[in-house]
A and B are shown apart, each in its own frame.
Chain A
């Protein structure tokens, strides 16, 4: 089940047990570990159930981060985006990375705000930077960029210097105002 390419730290045995248990409960999961860090890849349909179970039954009570990776032109990548959830159990000390692959044109993911209210701003940031829509999010607005911004600049096909948005302002002159 668990494929290991570890060169550094190993997953400890009690941790291993928990992750095996999770894998047994969700047969659709792709579980892998690297240097003592475990990662599962889950499909969109299963995500909510998995997260709910992880929170309630496996005591992953903290959503540390929601972020996204754009795998455009990445060697060997099959999916365009991975939405990445970092979970932690504050009592158990366990950590788990949950990845949700998404492909264009259907860039919708279920929102985690119902499970962890801290997901609110993090999902807004992912929407802002990558254009992933979170269904069920109470207030999916841009969080870092101006509201009028139209692109999602952390996508790999977006030019670093932008498309001229930064020059798009009114010019104030002397003696006006």
Chain B
């Protein structure tokens, strides 16, 4: 059966054969088997748990296997505020996750620091780790988190490549807005 746009040498294939690109096939597998790493540091973590529980049932979207070892995960969900002492831990966990990996910043605190504009709270984790999806809210409802995961799945399907080329694109490497605006001070601040 001839399909429009199909190269000639595919003609005559049985109907149960689907032709695709390897990148797309890989992304399709990846997007439907996200294994989240729950980095829940505060109240948003409760909504994250609710998302995984039976009522909202994250399993419907293939992302219910929460693992507490970063080695087994490919999606970090940061749910809650991150303080100075926690950020190195977060970065270490992010580095321990095998590629390809994605990150969702869940809630106002993880994305911007929220109302905690104080000396010890990191004002948005996107200043120090790459973030793919931001979920607004305080806390976001489980539906919002599920929407973020669906959107992330779309993104993976759209731009995913088998060897992770998309992660190296100039846009992905761009420094975040916040880092340009704010001064980064050295160790020189004064000792009272």
Contact = CB atoms under 8 A, between A and B. Distances in A.
A149 B187 CA distance: 9
B127 A165 contact: no
Contact of B128 (A165, A172, A174): A172
Contacts of B182: 164, 167
B164 A150 contact: no
A172 B91 contact: yes
A76 B29 CA distance: 70
Interface string B173-192: 10100010011111101111
Contacts of B172: 174-175
Interface in B84-99: 84-85, 87-88, 91, 94-95, 99
Interface string B118-129: 111111000111
Given A168-B185, A173-B130, A160 B119 contact: yes
A172 B129 contact: yes
A141 to B, nearest CB: 13
Interface stretch (A26-34, A85-93, A151-159): A151-159
24 contacts: A146-B84, A148-B187, A153-B119, A161-B117, A163-B185, A164-B182, A165-B120, A165-B185, A165-B189, A166-B120, A166-B121, A167-B123, A167-B185, A168-B184, A169-B84, A170-B128, A171-B127, A171-B128, A171-B179, A172-B94, A172-B95, A172-B129, A172-B130, A175-B172
Interface of B: 84-85, 87-88, 91, 94-95, 99, 117-123, 127-130, 164, 167-168, 172-173, 175, 179, 182-187, 189-192
A163 B120 CA distance: 10
B85 A146 contact: yes
Given A161-B119, A163-B185, A164-B185, A171 B175 contact: yes
A162 B128 CA distance: 18
Which 5 interchain pairs have the tightest Cβ spacing? A162-B119, A164-B185, A177-B95, A163-B189, A174-B167
Given A145-B120, A162-B118, A169 B87 contact: yes
A101 interface: no
A151 B95 contact: no
Contacts of B187: 148, 150
A85 B169 CA distance: 58
A99 B10 CA distance: 88
B85 A164 contact: no
A164 B192 contact: no
Given A175-B164, A175-B168, A165 B191 contact: no
